[in-house]
Structure formats: structure tokens, C-alpha cells
Structure 1
Amino acid sequence: MDRLVSYLRVSTDKQGRSGLGLEAQRQAVADYIGGGRGKLVAEFVEVESGGHDDRPQLKAALHRAEVTGAVLLVAKLDRLSRDVAFLANLQKSGVKFRCCDMPDASEFTINILAAVAQHERKLIRDRTKAAMAAAKWRKGFRGYGNPNGARALRRARKGNAAAIAVVAANADTRMQRLLPVISDIRASGHTSLQAIADELNAREIKTARGGRWYPTSVKNVLDRSAAA
């Protein structure tokens, strides 16, 4: 009967404190052992991202398995690592490991699954970066306030030529940022003022006052562009 060292991992402190994820992994280990596949001799728990292979508890679990000749047991492969190189080095080290969700998987199968998991991690990272960039882009339209409003004029000391120039420059800057968006909307088949306003609202782009778009507000931007 194999001696087993289990390694359980969650990604956040909140998950670690609540037990979310840990209990499911612990139950998977218990079910594996209940099938007569071995005896648990130690358990190591870590709260750390799977993207970091330099983990203290993982090192401790690997060391325990190595010096005792035990088998490292994880509930799922991604609890150990999604990195192909890491798993390849682990296999070369001589430490045996098994996954509860695929106890009979060969080293070849594990390498294929690790490659898929590594690719998925890259896709997730790319999607996250794209979402953050989109959110930052949308926020850029909300930060201008109303460049023609009374508050802007008061801040710029209403009445002098410099203040008027600042307000006009801000309005022109916002117009220039909006024009490519409106052009894209028109190219997609939304050509009427109402259709453009609806699409701007759907994209969560606010007006200078931070409100919704209407045909008249779209017309104001287009008129300002024509007069520029």
C-alpha cells in the first residue's frame, strides 16, 4: 500500500479561511484513499496562486514525499501546477505524484493536460488584460465632466480669453476621442442619430455630463466636428 502525502491549494486568503475549495479537495483525497489506493501520512495546505511554482508548502510536501518515498497526491492537476516545464522537472526528480481525478493517467497524458492548462492560463490572462484595457478606455470618457458647463467656466475664471480657450480645447479633445467610436458605429450599420446614441449607451460611453446619449447630443458632437 502506497504512503501518500497530500497537497491542497487555494488561490486566495478568503478561500483559505472559508474552506471553500479546500474541503472539496480534502474529500477527493479521502475518496481516493477509501478506494484502497494508499495511506495518508501527511497533509500540506497552501494559499497561493497556481501561477507561482515557488511555494513553501509545495516544497515541504515534495521534500516529505522524497525523503520518505511517499507519493505526492493532489485532488486535480491544476492544484499542483499548470506549467509544463515544472511538471517535467518534477517527473525527472523521481518524486511520484498522482491526481485523484485521474488516478490511472500516464506521464504522457499528464504532460498533454498540463500543456492544455498552460494554454488556458495564457488565454485567461490575455482576456483579463483586454477587459482591464477596455474598462480604462471607457473610464477615459467619464473623466472629463462637462467642458462647457458652469463649473468648468468658474474653475477657469469665467470671462477671460484663456478660460474660454481651455474649455474649447477640452471639448475638442473629447470630440476627437469620440469621432473614431462614432465612425466605427456607423461602419457597423448604425447610421441614424438615434441608432448611434443607442450604440454609445450600449457601449457604456457616457456624455460629457456623465449621462445617456440622445440624438441631439450625438448631433452636437457631429456639428462640432463639421465646424472644426
Structure 2
Amino acid sequence: MLIGYLRVSTGKQQISGLGLEAQRTSIENYAAQIGETVDQFFVEAESGKKKNRPELQAALFACKRNKATLIIAKLDRLARNVAFVSSLMESGVEFIAVDAPYANKLMLHILSAFAEHEREVISERTKAALATAKERGVVLGSHGKVLARTNREAALQHASKVSPYVEAAKASGAKTLADIAQYLSENGVQTASGGQWHPMTVRRVLVRLKGKGLSGTSGT
């Protein structure tokens, strides 16, 4: 028995169905492949920063009551959510992530730790850049947009450099974000922060490449 959990970031997305339909379709298609059906869906419309997840708690309770397995569409999306990771660990409920069906709770915990570390690194770099600008006499309020644009441009430049390696990973048989992350790490390609790759950082690069109209976005 499967119980689905869908999440979108805002109430507006929930009303429009943006993101929900894709998640639902992904989950239902996978369930059909393994000969299962999804008995119930729980839909959460919350900011990624909020820790309160009533629908997640309801989904976990339903899984425990019915001895069901929780199924989600995107492991990398929810692995960044500390509330999701903590709730899942404490509940004892088994789960399936469609984009990484062989992932386990340990992998989820590791991904969450990587994501938290990446957020801290970005935060520290931003604070350092702002402090340096302030020391030079820059009025931060009027230059914030310039700094943000500079950071975006740097991220796009890095994504462009990584694009050929992403294509090479796919050509070598990489099918999932985790496969690509492993290929990039094994071939000494660094992330923008100089760390190791994991599915979430690969996804961010793919989104940037797609937005810039470059290759490296298909087949994942």
C-alpha cells in the first residue's frame, strides 16, 4: 500500500496546481510500474523555511496506521527540508522516492547534512561580501541588486563550465541526479563552493543551464 506526499512552496502554486500535477503523475506512473496503486495523497503548501508540516504528519500517521509506504516524487527537494527528514526518521515509516527509488533513510540524512552545509557556506560568503563592501564605503541598500546579479552570473558561468561533464555523464549511462553527482565527483569536477556533488547541487546546475538555454538538461 502506498500513500503519496506532494509539496509546493506557496498557496498560489497549490491553487494553480503548478508542480502538483507533475509530482502526482510521476508517483502514479512509478506505482503502476511496480504493480501498486496510491491509495491517498496528502498535499502540503508551505514555504520551504517553515518547520510545521501538518500534511506530512498526517501522511506519516496514515502510513503507520495502514502499514503503508510513503512515496514522494523528488528526493532532492524534500531532503533539503529538515522537518521532513526529522519527521521521517522518528516515524519509522518506510519511503520511496521516485527519482531515487533505492535511496534509504541514511542517504536522506546525508543529503540533508550536505544541503545544510551548503546553505551555511553560501550564507558566510554573502556576509563576507557584504562586510567587505561596507568597509569600502558601499551603501548596501542601493547595491544589493548588483551583488545579487553578480552572484547569479557567477553561478551561471560555473554551470556552463560543468555542462560538458554533465553531458559526458549521461553519455556514460548516468540516468539519475545521483548518477551524475557520482560521475562528477569521481572525475574531480568541483561544485561552485568547492565541495563534493550530490543530487541537489546537480539539480541546481541543470536548472541554471535550462534557464540559460544550454545543453545538459535533457534526459534527467
TM-score, with structure 2 as normaliser: 0.52
Answer yes or no: is the 8 Å Cα contact 1:5–1:70 preserved in 2: yes
Return the alpha-carbon distance in structure 1 between the equivalents of residues 58 and 105 of structure 2.
23
Question: SS at the partner of 1:27?
Answer: helix
1:146-182 deviation digits (Å, cap 9, x = unpaired): xxxxxxxxxxxxxxxxxxxxxxxxxxxxxxxxxxxxx
Alignment map for 1:157-176 (pairs within 5 Å)? none
- After superposition, the Cα gap between the structure-2 partners of 1:127 and 1:92, relative to the gap in structure 1 and judged at 3 Å, is same
Return the alpha-carbon distance in structure 2 between the equivalents of residues 54 and 47 of structure 1.
11
Amino acid aligned to 1:97: F
1:101, distance to aligned residue in structure 2 (A): 0.5
Question: SS at the partner of 1:29?
Answer: helix
Return the alpha-carbon distance in structure 1 between the equivalents of residues 78 and 15 of structure 2.
20
Answer yes or no: is the 8 Å Cα contact 2:80–2:116 preserved in 1: yes
State whether structure 2 residue 23 is matched by structure 1 residue 25.
yes
Return the alpha-carbon distance in structure 2 between the equivalents of residues 10 and 107 of structure 1.
22
1:59, distance to aligned residue in structure 2 (A): 1.0
Answer yes or no: is the 8 Å Cα contact 1:7–1:73 preserved in 2: yes
Amino acid aligned to 2:95: F
- After superposition, the Cα gap between the structure-2 partners of 1:16 and 1:88, relative to the gap in structure 1 and judged at 3 Å, is closer
Alignment map for 1:36-75 (pairs within 5 Å)? 36=34, 38-75=36-73
Residue of structure 2 equivalent to 1:12: 10
- Residue from 106, 109, 118 that aligns with 1:108: 106
1:111, distance to aligned residue in structure 2 (A): 2.1
Answer yes or no: is the 8 Å Cα contact 2:63–2:70 preserved in 1: yes
Residue of structure 2 equivalent to 1:147: none
Residue of structure 1 equivalent to 2:139: 137
Return the alpha-carbon distance in structure 2 between the equivalents of residues 126 and 37 of structure 1.
47
1:6-64 deviation digits (Å, cap 9, x = unpaired): 01001112221222211111121022112125221110111102332321111111111
Return the alpha-carbon distance in structure 1 between the equivalents of residues 80 and 99 of structure 2.
15
Question: SS at the partner of 2:52?
Answer: coil
Any stretches of 5+ residues in structure 1 without a counterpart? 142-228
Any stretches of 5+ residues in structure 2 without a counterpart? 144-220
Amino acid aligned to 1:25: Q
Return the alpha-carbon distance in structure 2 between the equivalents of residues 123 and 18 of structure 1.
34
Question: SS at the partner of 1:98?
Answer: strand
Return the alpha-carbon distance in structure 2 between the equivalents of residues 65 and 45 of structure 1.
15
- After superposition, the Cα gap between the structure-2 partners of 1:128 and 1:4, relative to the gap in structure 1 and judged at 3 Å, is farther
Return the alpha-carbon distance in structure 2 between the equivalents of residues 37 and 76 of structure 1.
20
Q: Determine which structure has more spread, i.e. the larger CA radius of gyration.
A: 1
Question: SS at the partner of 1:15?
Answer: helix
Answer yes or no: is the 8 Å Cα contact 2:73–2:99 preserved in 1: yes
- After superposition, the Cα gap between the structure-2 partners of 1:99 and 1:126, relative to the gap in structure 1 and judged at 3 Å, is farther
- Residue from 71, 85, 88 that aligns with 1:87: 85
1:72, distance to aligned residue in structure 2 (A): 0.9
1:139, distance to aligned residue in structure 2 (A): 3.9
Question: SS at the partner of 1:103?
Answer: coil
Amino acid aligned to 1:73: I
1:128, distance to aligned residue in structure 2 (A): 7.6
* Count of equivalent residues: 139
- After superposition, the Cα gap between the structure-2 partners of 1:139 and 1:117, relative to the gap in structure 1 and judged at 3 Å, is closer
